Structure 1
Amino acid sequence: MVFANTWRLNMRTFFLYIASCIFFVITGCQSEKTVVLEDTQKAEEIIIGGSESVLPVLKQLAEAFESENQGKKILFTAPGHTSAGIKAVVEGIISIAAVSRNLKPEEKQLGFDEYWFAHDALVFAVHPTVNIKGLSLKDIGPIYYGSISGWEKLGGPKHPITVLDRIEGSSPKVLLQEKSVLSKEKKVTQKAVVFERPNDMNIAIASTAYSIGYTSLSLLLKDNYNLNILELDGIKATPETIRNGAYPLVRPIGFVIKGAPAGLAKEFTDYIFSEKGHSVLTKQGYVPSQRQL
């Protein structure tokens, strides 16, 4: 019996390793191979992958859920992107995809149930060497296109601006384009340093003097970065201004499942939208959303 239990444990560990490797390949190389999961809900396990911005808070929720539900496991792949997570769910590689943007029309046709459990602010932050309080939204474009190249033009120190950007198609870049803060038709200055991952962006802002970048407010608060988070049009990103819509750059975060959740996936979904789940979200700096029926 001990041998059998050990064998099953090793097989689960091996299976999760293989799923993570496959998800990594999809994120980086878009492999065409498909691996179909067994029914993880029957095994009291589900596997989650997708947006690197959302996975940290889902892990916090999973830890709280597991502490009250012994024997049930929420497993995670390596972090990636919303698009890769959606593809992995379609191909049966993971159970749930964490998403940090609204679904595209073609994605909505894939039969997903969408669960938007919180809102997060997208903020512009600068290195502490830049002692300005805020910017207007109309200043962002000229900074990123290169027509405003020095901080002194914005009330800051007499020094060139180091522009930090995210890759095209990333969730925060898409939001800025949807809000007409940046344009798809205009090219960002060639001097900009471009990052794929949100954590790389956060580290770069914190370590690069006279830099500006944009990122998740909740991730900044979670990791306690020493940055100057800017007001936009005189409005500071706070739970209240996120909730009432006064802050201009807010995005929903959530997850998608192929079809209605059942078994452990349903239990975890119910937990996220419960008072206990909302308490976890609030502690992590998010503004919880009510479940849409």
Structure 2
Amino acid sequence: MKKFKRVVFLVPSVLLIFFLSGCQQLNQESLTVAGSTAIQPIIEMAAAKYRQQRPNSYVNVQGGGSETGLSQVAERAIDIGTSDVFASKKASLQVHKLQDHKLAVSGIAVIVNAKTGVHNLSMRQVQKIFTGKITNWQQVGGKKLPITVINRAEGSGTRLNFETLALAHHSSMVAQEQASSGTAYQIVKETAGAVSYVAFPYVQAGVIAPKIDEVKPTVANVEDNHWKLWSYEHLYTRQNPSQKVRDFINYLGSSQVKKIILKLGFIPVSAMNVARNRYGTIETVK
């Protein structure tokens, strides 16, 4: 009889646990952000802090590339699509159904393996290197080393911006491709003669970020457009997004997230002295 009583009291307790757990799951708000791998660290850090303030909110952050982010938000597969390029660059999208929220600016630097000995290039030399017309670092004043080009993957916003801004709309040569700036950096660091292009935050120890036409790749030079290789980091939502999406977008525009943007080496849009529209036209910010 004692055993029977224990079971009777145990079952309601277990049911109560499942009931409370179920309620917690039902009350939890979740949303998914995917796309640009360049902006991913900002969103991940912001999402972690956001959840500290809103324990019932969960933000699932994924990469996949700018093209993936744009396609999936347009298809309603995700809540927010992150992109290094304007949605209008993707011809198949119904852009009028999307809303653009510019979060930050990212400089793009050419990086070379330290053994090349190259610290300065002209834009014309950059174009010839990435189109396969220059094949040895000795041809641009460096060491006698064959050039190994590391491209970002097709669908990468960083690649599209680099080909537009640095290569004058020419495609880079067929070469090894990497899905993220972090991986591209690592391979350039470890491979003698390697060269690639990455967002500023990924310019780290062990590689050289050469000047281009005597201009250094610095935040200050991006802000004034002296360094021409930069892009916006976009957050795209559907028009009239849900309240949970609006709440997170508003949080991403807060002073707390601005600190994250600066800490990670990106540039707040408000710090720019110029603006670039979707056609590439540069205007002074008044």
TM range (shorter): 0.7 to 0.9
Matched residue, 1:196: 179
Matched residue, 2:211: 231
Q: Which runs of 5+ in 1 are unaligned?
A: 13-41
Residue 259 of structure 1, CA deviation: 1.4
Q: Which has the higher strand share?
A: 2
Q: Which amino acid counterpart does residue 116 of structure 2 have in structure 1?
A: V
Matched residue, 1:16: none
- The two structures have a TM-score, normalised by structure 1, of 0.78
Matched residue, 2:45: 60
Matched residue, 2:71: 87
Indicate conservation of the 8 Å contact 2:66/2:155, yes or no.
Answer: no
Query: Structure 2 CA distance, aligned partners of 1:67 and 1:262?
Result: 21
Residue 158 of structure 1, CA deviation: 1.6
Indicate conservation of the 8 Å contact 1:232/1:248, yes or no.
Answer: no
Residue 176 of structure 1, CA deviation: 2.6
Matched residue, 1:242: 222
- 1:37-186 pair list within 5 angstroms: 43-77=28-62, 79-104=63-88, 106-107=92-93, 109-179=95-165, 181-184=167-170
SS in 1 for 2:64: coil
Residue 167 of structure 1, CA deviation: 3.3
SS in 1 for 2:217: coil
Query: Structure 1 CA distance, aligned partners of 2:84 and 2:94?
Result: 15
Matched residue, 2:278: none
Indicate conservation of the 8 Å contact 1:96/1:256, yes or no.
Answer: yes
Q: Does residue 282 in structure 1 map to residue 262 in structure 2?
A: yes
Partner deviation per Cα, 1:87-110 (whole Å, 9 max, x = no partner): 222333211111111112543535
Query: Structure 2 CA distance, aligned partners of 1:187 and 1:7?
Result: 52
Query: Structure 1 CA distance, aligned partners of 2:217 and 2:164?
Result: 19
Matched residue, 1:206: 189
Residue 43 of structure 1, CA deviation: 4.2
Partner deviation per Cα, 1:3-54 (whole Å, 9 max, x = no partner): 1233466x78xxxxxxxxxxxxxxxxxxxxxxxxxxxxx8422111112222
Q: Which runs of 4+ in 1 moved over 6 A?
A: none
Query: Structure 1 CA distance, aligned partners of 2:190 and 2:52?
Result: 37
Partner deviation per Cα, 1:176-207 (whole Å, 9 max, x = no partner): 332252544x661x5x3233333332221111
The alignment of Structure 1 onto Structure 2 pairs a total of residues equal to: 255
Matched residue, 2:245: 265
Partner deviation per Cα, 1:232-268 (whole Å, 9 max, x = no partner): 2111222211111111100100211111344222222
Q: Which amino acid counterpart does residue 82 of structure 2 have in structure 1?
A: A
SS in 1 for 2:60: strand
Tell me whether 198-207 or 104-113 shows the greater mean CA deviation: 104-113
Matched residue, 2:20: 5
SS in 2 for 1:246: coil
Matched residue, 1:256: 236
Indicate conservation of the 8 Å contact 1:121/1:216, yes or no.
Answer: yes
- The two structures have a TM-score, normalised by structure 2, of 0.80
Query: What is the root-mean-square deviation of aligned Cα atoms in Å?
Result: 2.5
Residue 209 of structure 1, CA deviation: 0.8
Residue 126 of structure 1, CA deviation: 0.7
Indicate conservation of the 8 Å contact 1:111/1:258, yes or no.
Answer: yes
Q: Which amino acid counterpart does residue 160 of structure 2 have in structure 1?
A: V
Q: Which amino acid counterpart does residue 175 of structure 1 have in structure 2?
A: N
Query: Structure 2 CA distance, aligned partners of 1:252 and 1:187?
Result: 21
SS in 2 for 1:158: coil
Task: Find the structure with the greater CA-based Rg.
Answer: 2
Indicate conservation of the 8 Å contact 2:74/2:93, yes or no.
Answer: no
Query: Structure 1 CA distance, aligned partners of 2:163 and 2:188?
Result: 21
Q: Which amino acid counterpart does residue 102 of structure 1 have in structure 2?
A: F
